[in-house]
Amino acid sequence: MNATAILIELVGGIALLLWGVRMVRTGVSRALGSSLRDVLRRAAGNRFSAALAGLFITVPLQSSTATAIITGAFAERRMIGLAAALAVMLGADIGTAVAAQLLAVDLRWLSPAAIIIGFALFTASQTAKRRQIGRALIGVGLIMLALRLIVASSEPLRESPALAAVLAALENDIVFTAAVAAVLTWLAHSSIAIILTVAGLVGAGVIPATMAIPFVLGANAGAAIAPFVATSTSSPAGRRPALGNLLMRCTGALAALAALPWIAPLLLSDLGAGTALVLNLHLAFNLALALAMLPLVGPMAKLVEWLMPEKPALGDDRLRPRYLDPEAIVSPPVALANASREALRLGDAVEAMLGRSLEAFTVQDPLLVKSIEAEDDVVDALHEAIKLYLTRLNQEELEPDESQRCVEILTFTTNFEHIGDIIDRNLMELAAKKMKGSLRFSAEGFAEIEAFHGRIVQSLQLALTVFMRGDIAMARQLIADKTTVRDMEALAVESHLARVGKRLPETLETSSLHLDVIRDLKRIHSHIAATAYPILERAGELHKSRLKKPAKAEGGKNASDEPAATQSEPRPPSQPEAQPASQPASQH
């Protein structure tokens, strides 16, 4: 077998191992996630029970990163103290080592048995919990299968002169070797996968036993990077457990590397050989780290608080999302419900902006205009937070209906964010222009604007209800309202032009202003109506095109012969009928 084929098999085995770990984590999180969180919540009273809870949670999850996210969320809400949170992370580190020991059991029949049972549960079960347990069992089987593939494909590498030269260079620089292992673990987001891979290579004789120690130490340090990065968008309180875990693991790894000349002979003689050596080193390091650090979690908590203090309150607290719980990412139904609640909060902010926008044209109050413009900052911040939250959720394996709900939430928030931009950058600019010029609408003209504005507000409220309930009839009504709004716009423009023809002074001096307001309100309605499209598409209520069919050249049916439903309920274009919200009013 040539080197290319060996490398492909080896990388394929590692990829299968990573995928199996992901399947186990996803299945356990969805099947038992709420129960595991309850265990952590109840055990957070002291450092020892917290460490045991971290171990108990992480063994089935097989991910200290997932445990760190849950713990960070609890710490952010002040449901667990920082010292107890650090103890949880120490227990979680032991949990990953125990999980690696269990997964490395060499029972050839267990891998196909787990896959068969998991497949049966996943395909035949009607309940979501059993399906997710089946997913986890398939993952366990794939992990064991991947380990055998890694060992088998790597055996020919023992005779490779090039690999021997590389390993000799790494063996002489243990710090660099540990750094390489740390980076690989961070990129893989799984210390278990890296430890099992190294164990397989050591067991096959590809990597010498003397290099196992720096590989294991580096993998443990790298495993703490992923949760620290994963909590980067949280508040300082939510990030401190991951930072403390990073400090403790790196300190332990550096101390062990410094003492390696004295402890290496002892470890190599007492912890077995081959695969067992790597797994036992991994477990011994995490046990020793927990024993050394558990009595020191109090001082470590104070150090972490000093390194990452609370940020002073800046601006409006409304800029921060309230419902986007990061720990719920592992449970898509809960995460989607959280995103929906935050999206409704964004919708309420836009509704308030639209409702107050008419008042800005009736009073000479620049502060009111500034207040409405400032509300758009809230809308923008919530939109960005929801988008990032759903992006993280999309990295999970979603069911088709969950993916569809993701699309509905993104469509809703994106269109409402555009509405906020139109109010902020266009309507409020027009209101400021009216104040600056001390202009007044005619009584008839303002009555038309007021009626048109009221109709748009009603449609926006209907859109909020459609988003919340997913009602098909209401969604159809929202689309049907486009015709009503279009007719109202045409009538308002026609009436305005008739007054212009009469040369009424108030009409002449506010003509451009009047038409721009009507036009911007119509643009807002286009974005409102666009929120109904994903709901109607899911129900099969949309046609593929809004175009009429061309008339046939000779005696064929023309477009007027099409069924009425086809012409009256066309599918609109993917983009709302609107100009860019950023276009300044002066160009209108």
**Per-residue model confidence as pLDDT tens digits over 94-149:** 988 898 888 777 667 778 888 899 899 888 877 777 888 888 888 888 887 887 77
pLDDT value, residue 314: 44
pLDDT, average across residues 371-400: 85
Letter string b/e over residues 290-309, b meaning 16 or more CB atoms within 10 A of that residue's CB: beebbeebeebbeebbeeee
Task: Indicate if the alpha-carbon torsion angle 556, 558, 563, 566 is positive or negative.
Answer: positive
pLDDT value, residue 291: 93
Q: Given a cut of 50, is residue 564 above it in pLDDT?
A: no
Q: Given a cut of 50, is residue 176 above it in pLDDT?
A: yes
pTM: 0.59
Residues 6+ apart with CB under 8 A from 70: 36, 37, 40, 57, 327
pLDDT value, residue 288: 93
Give the class (CATH, top level) of 331-546+560-587. Answer: mainly alpha
Q: How confident is the model at residue 573 (pLDDT cuts 50, 70, 90)?
A: very low
Give the separation between CA 476 and CA 494, rounded to whole angstroms. Answer: 28
pLDDT digits (tens, 9 = 90+) for 18-33: 788 778 777 777 776 6
| Nearest-5° Cα angle at 419, 415 to 421 | 115
**DSSP class per residue in 162-197:** HHHHHHHHHHT-HHHHHHHHHHHHHHHT-HHHHHHH
Here the tokens at position 272 are 């077995």
Give the separation between CA 206 and CA 158, rounded to whole angstroms. Answer: 5
Q: Given a cut of 80, is residue 60 above it in pLDDT?
A: no
What is the SS3 assignment for 406-420? HHHHHHHHHHHHHHH
Q: Given a cut of 90, is residue 74 above it in pLDDT?
A: no
Helix (H, G, I), strand (E, B) or coil at 561: helix
Q: Given a cut of 70, is residue 242 above it in pLDDT?
A: yes
Closest by CA position to 283, among listed 39, 17, 104, 108:
104
Q: Given a cut of 70, is residue 12 above it in pLDDT?
A: yes
Query: Out of 79-88, 164-173, 431-440, which region has the weakest mean confidence (pLDDT)?
Result: 164-173
* Average predicted confidence (pLDDT) for the chain: 80
Look-up of token digits 């008339």: 551
Q: Given a cut of 70, is residue 420 above it in pLDDT?
A: yes
Q: Cα torsion at 127, 130, 131, 133 (round to 10°)?
A: 160
What number of CA atoms fall less than 13 Å from residue 569's CA on the CB side? 16
pLDDT value, residue 281: 92
pLDDT digits (tens, 9 = 90+) for 476-494: 998 888 888 899 889 888 8
Give the separation between CA 113 and CA 121, rounded to whole angstroms. Answer: 12
- Amino acid at residue number 287: L
Q: Given a cut of 80, is residue 52 above it in pLDDT?
A: yes
Q: How confident is the model at residue 542 (pLDDT cuts 50, 70, 90)?
A: confident
Burial (0-12, 13-18, 19+ Cβ within 10 Å), 24? buried
Q: How confident is the model at residue 37 (pLDDT cuts 50, 70, 90)?
A: low
Burial (0-12, 13-18, 19+ Cβ within 10 Å), 233? middle
Query: Out of 65-74, 247-256, 444-453, which region has the weakest mean confidence (pLDDT)?
Result: 65-74
Q: How confident is the model at residue 7 (pLDDT cuts 50, 70, 90)?
A: confident
Q: Any idea where the domains of the chain sit in the sequence?
A: 3-307, 331-546+560-587
